[in-house]
């Protein structure tokens, strides 16, 4: 399958497919003409990559996880700790954002009260 075909089948841009290849996430082989050719499994690999990206994982982690992703999209138990660490990181960021939101909302509220107070 050529890169344009893979892009059409997966709904992923050619540029992103090249990026995935540069990051070591997607393999291809070159024809004598220099054109990339992908195996028949490439659409499934791209879908797994997209799913892992959607889960907030960086490409360096995805590169490590991809060999452990099963056909059904689950990850082998040996990589469960990696997923748990990233989930905890997301939870920590959500908590920090929630605190920042509360603080900002309080600042806005206090400013509005002060501005609406009679002078």
Q: 115: domain range?
A: 77-119
Owner of token pair 């195996």: 39
What pTM was computed for the model?
A: 0.77
- Same-domain check for residues 62 and 91: no
Q: Is there a single domain that holds both residue 51 and residue 97? A: no
Q: What is the reported pLDDT for 31?
A: 87
CA-based end-to-end distance of the chain: 73
Q: What's the total number of domains in the chain? A: 2
Same domain, 91 and 55: no
The set of long-range contacts for 78-86, using a CB threshold of 8 Å and a minimum separation of 24, is 86/55, 86/56, 86/57, 86/61
51-77 pLDDT, tens digit per residue, is 999 999 999 999 999 999 888 888 888
> 61 and 96 share a domain?
no
Q: Which residues of the chain have pLDDT under 50?
A: none
Both 69 and 115 in one domain: the answer is no
Question: What's the CA gap between 44 and 82, in Å, rounded?
Answer: 22
What is the predicted pLDDT for the residue at 20? 97
């Amino acid at each position: 399958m050529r890169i344009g075909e893979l892009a059409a089948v997966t709904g992923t841009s050619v540029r992103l497919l090249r990026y995935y290849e540069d990051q070591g996430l997607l393999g291809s082989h070159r024809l004598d003409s220099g054109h990339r050719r992908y195996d028949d499994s490439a659409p499934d690999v791209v879908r797994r990559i997209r799913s892992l990206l959607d889960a907030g994982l960086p490409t360096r982690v995805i590169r490590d996880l991809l060999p452990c992703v099963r056909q059904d999209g689950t990850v082998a138990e040996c990589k469960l700790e990696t997923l748990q660490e990233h989930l905890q990181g997301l939870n920590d960021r959500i908590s920090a954002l929630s605190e920042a939101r509360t603080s900002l909302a309080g600042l806005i509220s206090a400013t509005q009260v002060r501005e609406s107070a009679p002078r």
